[in-house]
Copies of this chain bind each other. A is one copy, B any other.
C-alpha cells in the first residue's frame, strides 16, 4: 500500500489515503501526470483554487539504488498553460519515503492576501504553521532559517521572492544533502503555483522511520550493485562523472547548436572559456569548497553535480549545469564562468529558472537594453529579478512574455517555455522534441542529439524523437535521474528487476512502456482540453524564416510531423 497525504491550503484540512495500484507503485511522472489528468480541470486558471500541486517520489525512493530519488512535481503550468512535470534531485523524495509517503497533494487556495503558511510533516503529524518569517527573503536565507527551525536534515521545499509574487518563470527549490534548497524543479512556473496557494515552504522532518520492506532483499542488493556497475561502465555517464553536464559545451559548439546571441547562432567565439575543461581547471585551481564531482542526492554513482567556488575558494554556486552555462553564457555572448556562476546564484536565490531567465535576458539584449557580452549588465538584470523591479518582473515572466513586452519577435520558446541549450535549426531531432513535448520546449523529453547522423536533416526525426521520448520518459516514469537512461536504454531489465525485488510485483518491459506511452497520451489530452492547439506547438516564426548562419538551416518541420511525433 502507498500513502498519499492531501493538504487543503484554504481550509487546512488534512487527509491520508491509501492506494495500491501500479501507478502508485511506479510513482514519479507516471503518477503525477495521472493525478493532473484526473483531478485538475484542464481549463482552470493555473494560479486559481482549482489547480493542485502533486509531489510524487519514485518507485525505488528511499532505497540504496543509485540516482533513484528524484522528486516529480506535477501541476497545471501557468507558464505553458498545459500539463507540467518538473523533477528535482535533493532529499525530499527520500524523506517522503521515510514517512511512508508516495505522494503529497496540495489543493485549493486561500485568498490572495491570506497569511503565508508552512506545511510540516513529521512522524506523527502534519500541520500548517506560520510562514511569515520567511516572506520576501531569498532562497539561501530561507534555507538557513528552515534548517535552524527544522534541522539540517529535514527535507525542505521553498520558493523565492519571485514565486511569492506569482511570476511565471519561477521554480520550487528542494533541499540538497547539505540542507541548502538548491535543487530546482525549475521549469513551468511551479513556484508561482505554490505561491498562489500561500504555501511558502514544505518541510519533511528527519524523524521518519519507514524502511523499505523488500520482497527479496538479496535480489535487491545484487540489482542495486548492477546499476552502479552499469553507470560506471557507460561512457556517457562516466564522462558526466568527471566533467558534469558541462561536457556538452564542446559537443554543442562542434555541432553548431550552442545557443548564441539570443538563439540567432549556434557557435560562440571563445566558447572554450566556458567549457568543461576550463571549469574543471578553475575548480581544481581555486580549491576551497570547490568540487568537480558532487552528488545532488544520495546515493548516486554519477555525481555529475559540482560546487563552483569564488576566487577565495568559498562556494559561489552549486551546481552550475550546462543548460545554464549556455542560456546565461553563450546565449548572451558572456564568456566568463564567474559571471555565469554569479547569475546562477542570484537565480537560485530569487527562485527563478535559469533557462527561462537567461533566454529573457537574451531577448532584452536584442531589444537593446544591454550589449551582448556585457556580463555586468547581465548580472545587473538578474539583480533586478531578485529585487522585483519592473524590468526584473518582465524577465521573470518567461521569454514569450518578455519578448512581447520588449518588442522582440525572435523569442526562443515553445508553449511559452524557453528553449533549452540546443539551437533547433542545427538539430532537427532536438527541434522535433521541443515541438512535440507536452511540457513546452524540453531537452530531457527526448534527447536525440547524440544519435543524429545528420543533425540538420529532418529525415527520420519523427521516429528518432519518439524513440527517445520513450527512453527519456521511462526515467521520469519511475523517478530515476535522466542520466541513468544511457545505461538501460536497450534493456530496462535491471530496473524492472529492482522493482520486483522490492515489491514482489512483476512489470514487463512492454507493460512498463505502455505506462510511459499512456502517460504521454494523458498529458497531450490535458493540453488539448486546456485549449492548446497545433498552432502553439511551434517556434516563433523567425525560426522558420531566418537561416542559422553556420548551417544555412531554418526549421522546416511541419505541423503534420509534429502531430505524428505527439501521437501515441
Binding site for B on A (CB under 8 A): 43-45, 47-50, 78, 112, 165-168, 192, 196, 389-391, 393-394, 397, 401, 404-407, 409, 530-531, 533-536, 540-542, 545
The residue from B43, B391, B401, B409 contacting A404, defined by CB atoms under 8 A apart: B401
Among candidates B48, B168, B394, residue contacting A394 with C-beta atoms closer than 8 Å: B394
Q: How far is the CA of A165 from the CA of B166 in the complex (A)?
A: 27
Cβ-closest chain B residue relative to A410: B112
For A396, the closest partner residue in chain B by CB is B405
Q: Do the beta carbons of A406 and B393 come within 8 Å of each other?
A: yes
Chain B residues whose C-beta falls within 8 Å of the C-beta of A394 in the assembled complex: 390, 393-394, 405
Q: Which residues of B contact A405 (CB under 8 A)?
A: 167, 393-394, 397, 401, 405
- With a CB–CB cut-off of 8 A, which chain B residues contact A45? 409, 540-542
Min CB distance, A149 to chain B, in Å? 27
CA distance A165 to B157 in the complex (A): 40
Residue from the list B48, B391, B404 in contact with A390, Cβ < 8 A: B391
Return 26 A-B CB contacts under 8 Å, by A number: A43-B535, A44-B541, A45-B409, A48-B409, A48-B542, A165-B407, A166-B407, A166-B409, A167-B405, A168-B404, A192-B407, A389-B390, A390-B390, A390-B391, A390-B394, A393-B405, A393-B406, A394-B394, A394-B405, A397-B404, A397-B405, A401-B404, A401-B405, A405-B405, A530-B535, A531-B535
CB-CB nearest in chain B for A165? B407
Tell me which of A78, A393, A542 has the highest count of chain B C-beta atoms within 10 A of its own C-beta: A393
With the chains together, A407 CA to B78 CA distance in Å?
11
Q: How many whole Å from A546's CB to the nearest CB in chain B?
A: 10
Q: How far is the CB of A435 from chain B (nearest CB, A)?
A: 14
Q: Which residues of B contact A389 (CB under 8 A)?
A: 390
A313 to chain B, nearest CB (A): 37
Contacts of A406 in B (CB 8 A): 393
Contacts of A167 in B (CB 8 A): 405, 407
Q: Ordered nearest first, which 10 A-B pairs have the shortest CB separation?
A: A531-B535, A166-B407, A390-B391, A45-B541, A390-B390, A531-B533, A165-B407, A397-B405, A48-B541, A393-B405
Cα of A444 to Cα of B196 in the assembled complex, Å: 36
**Interface centre among A48, A49, A394, A407, by most B CB within 10 Å?**
A407
Roughly how many angstroms separate A315 CA and B121 CA in the complex, as a whole number?
66
List the B residue with the shortest CB-CB distance to A50.
B541
A192 contact set on B, CB distance < 8 A? 407
Which chain B residues lie closer than 8 Å to A541 at the CB level? 44-45, 48, 50
CB contact under 8 A between A409 and B531, given known A389-B390, A390-B390, A394-B394: no
Inter-chain CA distance A180–B405, complex, in Å, is 28
Residues of chain B within 8 A (CB-CB) of A536 are 531
Residue of B nearest to A109 (CB): B409
Minimum C-beta distance from A201 to chain B (A): 19
Residues of B within 8 A of A535 (CB): 43, 530-531
Question: Which residue on B lies nearest to A398, using beta carbons?
Answer: B404
Task: List B contacts of A533 (CB < 8 A).
Answer: 531, 533
Q: How far is the CA of A113 from the CA of B394 in the complex (A)?
A: 23
Identify the closest chain B residue to A402 (Cβ). Answer: B405
* Alpha-carbon separation in the docked complex, A434 to B45 (Å): 19
A407 partner residues in chain B, CB cutoff 8 A? 165-167, 192, 393
In the docked arrangement, what's the CA distance between A166 and B44, Å? 30
Chain B proximity of A141: nearest CB distance (Å): 21
Distance of A409 Cα from B168 Cα, bound (Å): 12
Given known pairs A390-B389, A404-B397, A535-B530, the reply for A409 and B43 (CB within 8 Å) is no
Instruction: For A112, list chain B residues within 8 Å (CB).
Output: 409
Instruction: Give the distance to chain B from A48, nearest Cβ to Cβ, in Å.
Output: 5
Contacts of A43 in B (CB 8 A): 535
**Distance of A520 from chain B, by nearest CB (Å):** 21
Chain B nearest CB: distance from A58 CB in Å?
33
CA distance A427 to B310 in the complex (A): 62
Separation of A254 and B166 alpha carbons in the complex (Å): 36
Name which residue of chain B comes closest to A366, CB basis.
Answer: B112
- A45 CA to B410 CA in the complex, in Å? 11
How many whole Å from A483's CB to the nearest CB in chain B?
34
Told that A196-B409, A393-B406, A531-B535 touch, could you supply 19 new A-B pairs with CB distance under 8 A? A43-B535, A44-B541, A45-B540, A45-B542, A48-B409, A48-B545, A165-B407, A167-B405, A192-B407, A390-B390, A390-B394, A393-B394, A393-B405, A393-B407, A397-B404, A401-B404, A401-B405, A530-B535, A531-B534
A393 to chain B, nearest CB (A): 5
Question: Which of B48, B50, B390, B409 is in CB contact (< 8 Å) with A47?
Answer: B409
